Structure 1
Amino acid sequence: METMPSARVMGDMVLLPNGNVLIINGASEGTAGWDLGRNPVLTPVIYRPNNPIGLRFEAQNSSSILRMYHSTAVLLRDGRVLVSGSNPNAYYNFTGVVFPTDLTMEAFSPDYLHPRLARVCPTIVSPASHSQIGYGQPLTINFRSEGRINRNLIIVTMVLPPFTMHSFSMNQRLLVLTHENGTQPEVTSLGRSNYQVRVTTQGSPILAPLGYYLLFMVYRGIPSQGIWIQIK
C-alpha cells in the first residue's frame, strides 16, 4: 500500500494512453455535496503503476483555479486532459459564497507532451480515423518515428472515453493490444523511419464493449495522437 502525496476527496482520475493515471481536482477536507468541501487541492498527481513502490506518485505543476464538486476531466485525442467546471453550491453562484461557481476550461498537459520529446513521439499513418474493426481480428498499424526504435518498448492501447460526473468516470477503461496469443506486438521496419505493427483486437465485449475508442501508439511511454476506432 502507498500513501498519496496529499489527502483528496472529489478528485477525478483519468487513464492516460501510456497506462499512467492522472489524479486531479478536488479538496483535501470534507465530502461531496453542497458546500461540504474545504481546502481545494490545486496540485495534480501522476500515478505510475510500473514504478517501484514509493516512487509511483509524482506531483505536477499546480493550477490556480479551484475545482471541487461538479468538476470534470476527460482525455483528449492529442493526449492532453480537458479540465472544467466547479460548483459546490446549490445554484450557480458566482459571488458571495466561499467557493464561487466556475465554468472555465483548461487543458492539463502530461510530461509526455514536452517539446524535447517530439522527435520520439510516433505518428500513426494508417488506418484512417473512424475505421471499423471487429472482435479478435488482426489490426495492422503503420506509423512513423524518427531514428532507430527499440521494438520491445512499443505498445498499442485503446481508451474508451467515459461519461464523467461527480468524480466518477463511468465505463472508463484502457486496453493494451497484443499480437496473437498475447505475445508482444509484431513490429516491422518499412524503411526511412516508417514502421508497421501487428496486433489483435480484444476477443470479447466483456473487455471491450461496442463503441468508439481512441487508439494510440505508445513508444517509450510517449503516445501518438489518437485516432478514433469503432468496434462494431
Structure 2
Amino acid sequence: MCAYVLVAEDDIKQAGIIGRYLEHEGHVPRLVHDGWSALEEVRRKTPDLLVLDVMMPVVHGLDVCRILRRESDLPILMLTARSTEEDLLRGLDLGADDYLTKPYSPRELMARIRSLLRRADRPSTAQESPVLRAGRLTVHPLRRTVFVSGAPVECTTAEFEILAAMAAEPERVFTRAQLLGVTRGSHHYITERTIDVHVMNLRKKIEPDPRRPVHLLTVYGVGYKLAHGSGEDRHGR
C-alpha cells in the first residue's frame, strides 16, 4: 500500500535517510524538523502514520504525542536516543503505538512502519466482522471502534488490539506475553510491563472507577481477563 507518512525529525540528515527509504517502499514522505511544524502538518493534512522523534525543538516530541492523542487516533511511531524502560513506558503511556531507540537499522524502522500500516488499514470491501460484546463493552473489529454503554471510546492502535483480542474471548485469562504478541510481538528492549501501561490506560477509558475495575480484571500471578458480565456487582484490582 502507498501511504502518506509524516516524519518529524530534527536531524535533517537522518530525516532525509528515512524519507528515501519510505520513497523506495512506494510511500509519500513529508519531512518536518520541529514539533510545532509536526502539529501544523497533521492538522493540515492527516497522514497515515507519524514517525516522531522525541527530542524535538520548539515543541517536545512527547508533548506533540500528548496533543495529537486528544485529537486523533493517528498511528504514531516514536524515535528516541533514550533507552531506559521508564522513557519507553512514558511514550506508550501518552499513546504512542510503537517505539524505536537510536541507533536503529533503517530496515527495522521500515518493518515497524509496515506493521503499523497493516494494522491501521481496513479495506472497505472486507466482509463485516462480528461485533464483539462483553458486558457494557462493544467492540467493532472492522470499524475499529469501541463503545461503553453506547458512548464512544478513543483507543490507540495497541489499546484497540488488546481490547479486541480480549473481547473475542471474554473470561479467558491472557498472559502479558500473549497480549504483547497481540500488539506487536516481543522486542528485545520492550518488557511485559508495557502491557501494564496499556491496561492502566484502558481502565481510565472504560472503567467507571479505574481503581476498582469491573471490566478489565487482573488475575494475580497470570495476567488479565475481560469480564463477560456487566460487572456491576464485581470488583477487581
Q: TM-score range by the shorter chain?
A: under 0.3
Greater relative contact order, per chain length (Cα 8 Å cut-off, separation 6+):
1
The structure with the largest strand share of the pair is: 1
The structure with the greater share of residues assigned to helix is 2
- Report the structure number with the largest CA radius of gyration: 1
